[in-house]
Amino acid sequence: MDKEFEPLDERKRIIRMWRKAAKGFSGLVTTPDEKLEQGFIDRYKELKNKMLFEPNRWKRRLSWLAIGLMTYGHLSAIEDVLESIPKPKGSHEGPRTSYIAPILIDLLPIPNSLTDGYYIRENPEELRKWYEKHKENLIWDKDQNRFVLQNNA
């Protein structure tokens, strides 16, 4: 295999893996792949409205829908994923941090100092601060299949 293509192939594999997980955990198992992005969008909007009345009931599923949307470059979904990092630690109000940390590490240009899943679980506010500081400069790079910082911000 040509080394030049290994990173791209790996990025595609990672995106497929997270889309498949989000598809399963968000209740869109029967949605065909070619309609998956729209399925994530429609169900996400529906659950955002339901969250107004029953937030605890839909939080986990909304988080997985947001993860699915992130895999298509939807920047607006990142905040719902960050909010789903359990607070206080050990809480089970969202998907387990052991799932969320690798997703965020794979899809966001998080600095090395924040890329330890254990650190993210213990210090979710540091990740949220990083996001607030950089969210205006995050863009989706279709070639890399991940968010990057625009203008090396």
pLDDT digit string, tens, across residues 6-41: 466 888 888 999 999 999 988 898 889 899 999 999
Cβ atoms within 10 A of the Cβ of 48, count? 14
Distance CA 96, CA 111 (A): 22
Confidence of residue 1 (pLDDT cuts 50, 70, 90): very low
The domains of the chain are located at: 3-152
The confidence band for 59, taking pLDDT boundaries of 50, 70 and 90, is confident
- pLDDT, residue 39, reads 94
Whether 95 shows a pLDDT value over 90: the answer reads no
